[in-house]
Amino acid sequence: MNTLEEEDQYSSPMDMYILSHDALRGTPTDQSIPPGWSSRPSKQTGFFSSGKKVTNKDLYLKILKQGVPPALRCAVWTTNVQMAIKDGEDESIGTLRKVPIVEHGWKIALQQVFPDQTDEDDLQIPDLGLGSRYLVNLLLCDHGGSIPEQGALALKRVLYVVQQLLIVEYCPMLPDLTALLLSIMEESLAYTTLRSMLEYSCSVEYVAVSPVQHIAWCATFCDVMKKLYPQTHAVMVEINMLTPQALDPIFKRLFVTILPRHHVMRIFDLYSFHGVETLFRFGTALMCLFHAHMNEEQ
């Protein structure tokens, strides 16, 4: 019996995960599935062609490091975030069965925040501490080119609903985070995923939600650099590369301004599972590579 037949035997069609869809820029998503990944992933059979879920976290992380196929990123990212909810772990959130529930919840949220259509038309995209200059760059060039009007409207709706219903006044990572989510999923699922990331019972830290927390992350990053890579730390301090402002590409922009987009997506494959720990790991690695490159030039 081949893999597809095995999946058909044990999976209900309603338990199959929905594939990725670009709601930000409307670009086609690569639907090819490489060997080892399932072409029909479901809650029962998981994401892999073996038809069995990987329960060992170290093995699962090893697979994530190899990169998630673009078509499966919506399913994998949403599942990773749901697994971080201590009391939830609803791995079916990205399945066909949950689509009507997620869309209904999003419709209610929109009605609460925008009871009249004109309310939505008159609003600006909230920057949530990101800053107007960064926000303009986000819309014009940082996410694969200029974001079309429909994508910008989707971004505005999700950000404003999160700001109003989840009471988020400061979260500079949120605009880029939302844009990345919308590049692989619809507004309703993006909002649901963000709500889970901001959930108090989430066991993984994803975003800083206050200036104090943001500065604390930057200070911790400096301490990690000093402890693990003292020589690189000394050089970075000397050229002012470890100030909070200098760390904006990491802790505000999620690497979108300094790395190619496909690399950012690969980082997010891990970020959806490990949260801010991933930013620390890649950030310190980039600092060390930058230091090494400086030595080569000298």
Q: Which of 17, 23, 6, 152 is nearest to 71 (CA)?
A: 17
Please check the confidence at residue 89 and state whether its pLDDT lies above 60. Answer: no
19: nearest Cα among 189, 197, 154: 189
Kind and range of the H or E element at 47?
A: strand 46-48
Distances (CA, A) of 14 to 10, 18, 41, 98, 106: 12, 10, 11, 8, 20
Residues 218/248, Cβ–Cβ less than 8 Å: no
pTM of the model: 0.92
pLDDT of residue 116: 84
> Band of the pLDDT at 11, cuts 50, 70, 90?
low
pLDDT given for residue 44 in this prediction: 80
pLDDT at 123 over 90: no
User: For residue 43, what pLDDT band results from cuts at 50, 70 and 90?
Assistant: confident
| pLDDT score for 55 | 80
> What band does 191 get if pLDDT is binned at 50, 70 and 90?
very high
Exposure on the CB side of residue 67, measured as CA atoms within 13 A? 11
Q: What confidence category does residue 5 fall into, taking pLDDT thresholds of 50, 70 and 90?
A: very low
**Mean pLDDT in residue range 237-248:** 96
Q: What is the dihedral of CA 99, 163, 129, 284, to 10 degrees?
A: -40
> In angstroms, how far is the first alpha carbon of the chain from the final one?
61
What mean pLDDT value characterizes the chain? 90
**10 has pLDDT over 70:** no
pLDDT at 100 over 50: yes
Tokens 């990572």 belong to residue? 173
Q: Give the residue, 178 or 10, on which the prediction is more confident.
A: 178
| Tens digit of each residue's pLDDT (9 = 90 or more) over 193-208 | 999 999 866 788 999 9
pLDDT for the residue 8: 44
Q: Say yes or no to pLDDT of 297 above 80.
A: no
Q: How far is residue 153 from each of residues 24, 38, 81, 121, 157, measured CA to CA in Å?
A: 9, 33, 25, 9, 6
Residue 146 pLDDT exceeds 90: yes
Residue 181 binned pLDDT confidence (cut-offs 50, 70, 90): very high
Q: What is the pLDDT of residue 46?
A: 83
Does residue 6 surpass a pLDDT of 50? Answer: no
Q: What is the per-residue pLDDT for 225?
A: 97
At residue 52, the 3 state secondary structure works out as coil
Percent of the chain with pLDDT over 90: 72
Q: Which residue has the tokens 């597809």?
A: 4
The whole-number pLDDT of residue 186 equals: 96
